[in-house]
Amino acid sequence: MYKAVMSTNLSGIESSMVRVEADISEGMPMFELVGYLSSEVREAKDRVRGALRNSGYVLPIKRITVNLSPANVKKNGSGFDLAIAIAVLAANGEIHPKSLEDRMFIGELGLNGEVHPVTGILPMVLAARDAGIHQVILPYENYQEGLLVPDMIIHPARNLSQVIAFLNEQTPLEIPEEAGSETMHGITHDFAYINGQQFLRKACEIAVSGMHNFLMIGPPGAGKSMVAKCIPSILPPMSLEEQLEVSKIYSVCGLFGENPSLIRQRPFRAPHHTISSNGLAGGGSIPHPGEISLAHRGVLFLDELPEFRRETIEILRQPLEDKVIHVSRVNGDFTFPANFMLVSAMNPCPCGYFASADAGRCRCTKPQIDRYLGRISQPLLDRMDICVSVEKVQYNDIVKTGGNESSADIRKRVVAAQEIQKKRFAKEPYRFNSEIPARDIPRFCPLGEQETAFMKQQFEHLGLTARTYHKVIRVARTIADLEGMEQIGIEHLMLASTYKSMDKKYWEVELQ
Amino acid sequence: MTDLCYEYWWASYYGLTDLKKCRMFEAFGNAKEIYLADAKAYEGLGFLSKEQISSIQTSKQERWIEKKTEEMIAKGISLTTLAMEDYPKRLRCIPDAPYGLFYVGDLSLTEKPCIGMVGARRASAYGRTMSEHFAMNLAAKDYVIVSGMARGIDGASHRGALKANGKSIAVLGGGVEFCYPKENREIYEALKENGLVISQYCPGTMPIARFFPARNRIISGLSDVIMVMEAKEKSGSLITVDFALEQGRDIYAMPGRITDTMSLGCNLLIRQGAGILQSPDLFLEDYVPRSADSYMEEIERVPKHTITSSRKTDKIDKISTVEMENSDNIKNFSLEKEESLVYSCFDFYARSIQDVADETGLDLLKLISIVMRLCELGLLKESFKNQYIRCK
């Protein structure tokens, strides 16, 4: 007899529907599993056999064939176990075929029949919704995560017997208790605790408002990392659409933890500089999203930028432009979203005091500095919209208490500036000033006569490239938005051009 | 072999110290005589060891010397030696003058009044700006700037001289056909055309750090005075000062702030009695140019004299103070109140925007537009990311 149930296959961060077909026929007794399977799916055969036996069902001594269709897509993961077991039982006439309609099965089986949780529930349930299926049976522990998708009926299963009873007799399934009130991740870092550094604070505000990439250069102890840690506190809230996008990635990586809920805060990822290229970009034989995808719609903070391996940071160049990363492996090409804001910090030389107020302490030689800077390419530096040099904090500022603007106040301005951008780009595929393509710059960032003259002079005097020229205008657009101004003024351009990207020329002049 | 080949041979022979080479030259009269003399004659001098003599003998490879000389001529490099008329007179008078000098450019510059400028390679923006300023003003008055074409002060000095269309001499620590460091290629090319590049090392010698002290002694030897523009407490520039004192040259140092480690060496020199460099004009008040010939006359009389010479440091120069006031007025005249406030916050030491914002309490947008305007007027320039210094 032939029966089929629906399940789903996760590939990258997207999920696609899979029909699990079972056929029981006369012939040599055997249990065969086909359909382009990876080894963990092939092992499902033994788990299913054990789970069925220990749940009180014995496989018929017949020829059992299970096919996972479409057969040309590689199947990964352990989430097919439940669907295979149900399909075999249905083919054997143990389950009422009617009860399989409009339902999808996800779950890994233990030999004792227990249903174990799997990762990637969110994209899987989303795929079910897109395929028009309304009910999903999934592991008990994944219940909360499944509920994240609106308009879906989620059935949590603890073990195989429960599922069979539910399907045949409508025995209600045990629903986990509603998890206690959502614990907000306490934000301990607040701009209110940052004294002085007005110039740097302003840069952060602008960077976040327009999602501009941001580089801080300065001596050790100037507060670069501290400021970076405060950035999450001024990030604007995410829309529901964005929350789902981000949550999907976290679901696939199994980073939801005990208490799954949609990721509501913009992610802030700060990988250590020993990270490998695969860790940053995503990789593995079955590619997993890397840090740049985990920072999607949020912030990727790279502290001590030149300490990263050169080939690792050079990977950033393409995702910074395309906002996605393509990972090609034997098992296929995967595309992960990577629309993040890059925040990075570095010292001007190995000891960190070069060209600072303590320049006298710097003993680095030219070759040492060249080597240090050589780890970051100029094209990468060019991709930083905003670059600011940070000076050490003055004594008066260290001892000062209070009187600083808090993150909440800054956040209000950021949100307002992003509202303006949302309205402006309502008809465009992009959302932020930092993403305005060069061809649209004249439309969204018109310059007056005086402003054009200023930019012309800047272009000639500072030797700007076309790319940096556009970046200055984009940043000026954000500054004007923060001020609530329709028209970009000359002072906005001036501030933007003081924040313009870093150039190795600075070091050359200093070392001449 | 031509006479030049003999001279080349002796100039490019580095198995003996310069002092011994000179003594041999004095004993034999010229390089040809040295070449033709035999081991016995050498022994007769009494100051050469057996090894040294055999080493001299093995260096007498006629074909090779001829080839090298031809190569030198092909590269456009000239040679002057103690045996020749055009050897720089000032250098001839120092105790351990190099026997030969390889050069490209105009050797007669060495007979003009020459001023040596030395200082740290890792100089501050202040040091570089002021070096350029001094070199520019002095070169414009037809003084020749002598320096070592290194990074930092040296480069800034040459650059200043070239900006004023003045003359300048670069003394290198390797063969003159090597431009070291690479960054100063433009200076090197300009000096070859319109100045002088000189070295005691024969063509093909790679610039090595241990040659540089010997190079410094030529810088001071070629100059009437040595200006130390910026030096840390233990700086290589102070080696040049030692040579200069030995050679009886006057020392001037440019003062810095007492807290500034980059100027510590200079301030110490001033304390020890070096002249103070306040402005090019005030310096010229003190400085009496000496003709190169006067060194030749002096050498017979007094071989050495000390650092102290008559100086008018206590005299306040009326003209230059008036000039200074005037220029200050002109500056302030065109500036608005806030602009001159911001301008007064900047210095020849780099200051960051953040510092000035803290000091003036001005709004960031306002401050930046003022800074930009001052840059536009050429009063300020960005020395490093978000750091500015005065230009005038």
User: What mean pLDDT do residues B324-344 have?
Assistant: 64
Lowest average pLDDT, out of A243-247, B169-173, B176-180, B379-383, goes to: B379-383
Confidence of residue B103 (pLDDT cuts 50, 70, 90): very high
Chain B CB contacts of A394 below 8 Å? 355, 358
Give residue A413's pLDDT. Answer: 93
Q: Are A197 and A393 in contact (CB under 8 A)?
A: yes
| Set of chain A residues whose Cβ sits within 8 Å of the Cβ of B384 | 348, 355, 389, 506, 509-510
B→A interface, C-beta within 8 Å: 122, 124-125, 128, 151-152, 155-156, 181, 183-184, 232, 260-262, 350, 352-355, 357-358, 364-366, 368-369, 371-372, 376, 383-387
For residue A490, list chain B residues with Cβ-Cβ distance below 8 A: 369
Whether residue B350 and residue A355 make contact (CB cut-off 8 A), yes or no, is yes
β-bridge pairing A288-289 and A282-283: antiparallel
Question: For residue B182, what pLDDT is reported?
Answer: 85
Phi–psi pair at A7, nearest 5 degrees: -145, -170
Residue B47 has pLDDT above 90, yes or no: no
CB A202 to CB B364 under 8 A? yes
Q: What is the pLDDT of residues B1-24, one digit of tens each?
A: 888 999 999 999 888 888 888 888
pLDDT of residue A194: 85
Of A217, A457, A491, which has the smallest distance from its Cβ to B385's Cβ?
Answer: A217
Query: Which of B390, B280, B382 shows the shortest CA–CA distance to B335?
Result: B390
> What one-character DSSP code corresponds to residue B12?
T
Q: Would you say residue A109 has pLDDT above 60?
A: yes
Confidence of residue A259 (pLDDT cuts 50, 70, 90): low
Question: Chain-centre distance of CA A425, in angstroms?
Answer: 23
Q: When comparing pLDDT for A480 and A394, which is higher?
A: A480
d(CA B161, CA B131): 10
A241 Cβ neighbours under 8 A, 6+ residues apart: none
Most confident of A159-163, A402-406, B206-210: A159-163
- Evaluate if residue B316 carries a pLDDT over 50: no
Residue B54, burial from CB neighbour count under 10 angstroms (0-12, 13-18, 19+): middle
Q: Give the three-class secondary structure for A309.
A: coil
Q: How far is B31 from chain A (nearest CA, A)?
A: 40
Cα–Cα distance, B212 to B171 (Å, whole number): 10
Give which of B305, B290, B241 is closest to B111, Cα–Cα: B290
**Mean pLDDT of the residues in chain A:** 88
Backbone torsions φ then ψ of A429, nearest 5 degrees: -75, -10
B305 band by pLDDT with thresholds 50, 70 and 90: very low
The tokens of B350 are what?
A: 């780099």
Nearest to B151 among A198, A391, A512 (CB): A512
Cα separation of A91 and A215, whole Å? 61
pLDDT of residue A182: 52
Question: Which residue reads 């490998």 in tokens?
Answer: A276
**Rounded-to-integer distance, Cα B124 and Cα B70, Å:** 44
Non-local (6+) Cβ contacts of A355 within 8 A are A348, A362, A506, A507, A510, B350, B383, B384, B387
* Lowest pLDDT segment from A89-103, A367-381, B187-201: A367-381
Residue B323 confidence (pLDDT) above 50: no
Taking the C-alpha atoms of residue B4 and residue B10, their distance in angstroms, rounded to an integer, is 10
Give A349's contacts in chain B (Cβ within 8 Å): none
Confidence of residue B308 (pLDDT cuts 50, 70, 90): very low
Q: How far apart are CA A91 and CA A93, in angstroms?
A: 5
A508 contacts B183? CB cut-off 8 A: yes
Helix ranges, A358-503 (H): 366-374, 378-382, 395-399, 407-424, 441-444, 449-462, 466-482, 490-498
pLDDT score of B251 = 93
B328 — pLDDT class (breaks 50, 70, 90): very low
| Average pLDDT score, chain B | 85
CA atoms within 13 A on the CB side of B224: 21
Task: Find out whether B280 and B252 touch, Cβ atoms under 8 Å.
Answer: no
- B353 interaction partners in chain A (CB closer than 8 Å): 199, 498
Strand A63-69 to B250-253 pairing: unpaired
**pLDDT band per the 50, 70, 90 thresholds, residue A167:** very high
Q: How confident is the model at residue B319 (pLDDT cuts 50, 70, 90)?
A: very low
Q: What is the chain A residue with the closest CA to B387?
A: A389
Whether B384 sits inside 8 A of A506 (CB atoms) is yes
What pLDDT sits at residue B321? 43
Give the H/E segment covering residue A251.
Answer: helix A240-252
Range with the lowest mean pLDDT among A346-360, A388-402, B293-307?
B293-307
* Neighboring chain B residues of A387 at a CB cutoff of 8 Å: 385
Whether this model's ipTM surpasses 0.85 comes out as no
Whether residue B387 and residue A355 make contact (CB cut-off 8 A), yes or no, is yes
**Interval A73-92 mean pLDDT:** 92
pLDDT > 70 fraction of chain B, expressed in percent and rounded: 91
> Comparing A357 with A187, which gets the higher pLDDT?
A357
What does the pLDDT average to over A127-145? 92
For residue A145, pLDDT over 60 is answered with: yes
Query: Using an 8 Å Cβ cutoff, are B141 and B164 in contact?
Result: no
Average pLDDT, integer, range B84-95: 89
Range in A85-89, A128-132, B306-310, B333-337 with the lowest mean pLDDT: B306-310
- List chain B residues with CB under 8 Å of A366: 151, 181
Closest approach of B259 to chain A, Cα-based (Å): 10
Residue B246 has pLDDT above 80, yes or no: yes
- How far is residue A44's CA from residue A109's CA, in Å, rounded to a whole number? 8
User: Is-contact A4 A22, C-beta < 8 A?
Assistant: yes
Helix spans in B95-184 (H): 125-140, 153-163
Pair B364, A495: CB distance under 8 Å: yes
CA distance A197 to chain B (A): 7
Q: Is the pLDDT of residue B138 over 90?
A: yes
Chain B residues whose beta carbon lies within 8 Å of the beta carbon of residue A357: 352
Report, as an integer, the average pLDDT of B292-318: 53
pLDDT band, very low/low/confident/very high, at B311 (cuts 50, 70, 90): very low
CB atoms within 10 A of CB B170: 31
Minimal C-alpha gap between B150 and chain A (Å):
8
Alpha-carbon span A510 to B387, nearest angstrom: 12
Q: Which candidate, A349, A512, A363, places its Cα nearest to that of B121?
A: A512
pLDDT at B306: 39
Give the whole-angstrom CA distance, residue A267 versus residue A246: 8
What pLDDT is stored for residue B313 in this prediction? 38
Distance CA A148, CA A139 (A): 15
CB A163 within 8 A of CB A157: yes
Q: Please answer yes or no on whether B385 and A197 come within 8 Å at the CB atom.
A: no
Which one-letter DSSP state was computed for residue A220? T
Average pLDDT over residues A305-324: 89
pLDDT exceeding 90 applies to what percent of chain B? 38
Mean pLDDT of the A159-179 span: 86
Q: Is the pLDDT of residue B307 over 70?
A: no
The single-letter code of the amino acid at A147 is: L
CB contacts of A355 in chain B (<8 Å) are 350, 383-384, 387
Collapsing DSSP to helix, strand or coil, A346 comes out as strand
| pLDDT of B96 higher than 60 | yes
Q: What angle do CA A335, A341, A344 make, to 5 degrees?
A: 115
Identify which of A457, A497, A510 has the shortest CB distance to residue B384. Answer: A510
Mean pLDDT, range B148-159, rounded to an integer: 92
Contact across the interface for A389 and B366, Cβ inside 8 Å: no
What residue in B sits closest to A218 (Cα-Cα)? B385
Q: How far apart are the CA of A459 and the nearest CA of chain B, in angstroms?
A: 13
**Of the partner residues B128, B183, B352, the one whose CB lies closest to the CB of residue A389:** B352
E-state strands within A261-397 = 268-269, 282-283, 288-289, 299-302, 324-329, 332-337, 341-346, 386-389
pLDDT surpasses 50 at B299: yes
**Using CA atoms, how far apart are residues A333 and A344, in angstroms rounded to an integer?**
29
- Residue A299 is which amino acid? V
CB atoms within 10 A of CB B169: 31
Cα distance between the two ends of chain A: 84
Pick A471 or B325 by higher pLDDT.
A471
Task: Give the residue from A361, A391, A404, A482 with the most B CB atoms within 10 Å of its CB, the best one to mutate.
Answer: A391
Query: Are A359 and B262 an interchain contact pair (Cβ–Cβ within 8 Å)?
Result: yes
Mark yes or no for CB contact B261/A360 under 8 Å: yes
Please determine, for residue A180, whether its predicted confidence score (pLDDT) is greater than 70.
Answer: no
pTM given for the model: 0.76
Provide the CA B40 distance to its chain's centre, in angstroms.
42
Q: What is the pLDDT of residue A258?
A: 66
Q: Are A504 and A374 in contact (CB under 8 A)?
A: no
Question: What's the pLDDT tens digit per position in A414-470?
Answer: 999 999 999 999 999 888 999 899 899 999 999 999 999 989 988 888 778 888 889
Rg of chain B over all Cα atoms, to the nearest angstrom: 24
Chosen for mutation from B151, B154, B386 (greatest number of chain A CBs closer than 10 Å) is: B386
Q: Do A196 and B354 touch (CB under 8 A)?
A: yes
